[in-house]
Amino acid sequence: MSEFQRGRCPFFKDSGIRIPQYQQKGFETQKVGAGTGFIVGRFGYILTNRHVARDTQAHYTILLSNGSQQEAQVVYRDEKNDIALLKISGEYKPVEFGDSDSLKLGQSVFAVGNALGEYSNSVSVGVISGLNRNIEASNGNQVERLENVIQTDAAINSGNSGGPLVDLNGKVVGINVATVIGSQSIGFSIPVNAVKNIIQAKTQ
Catalytic residues: 51, 82, 161
**Distance from chain centroid for Cα 141:** 21
Return the amino acid letter for 190. Answer: I
Give the separation between CA 4 and CA 15, rounded to whole angstroms: 14
- Which H, E and C letters describe 148-163, residue by residue? EEEEECCCCCCCCCCC
Give the separation between CA 175 and CA 10, rounded to whole angstroms: 19
159 phi, psi to nearest 5 deg: 100, -15
Find, among 152, 153, 116, the residue nearest to 35 by Cα: 116
Instruction: Tell me how long the chain is.
Output: 204
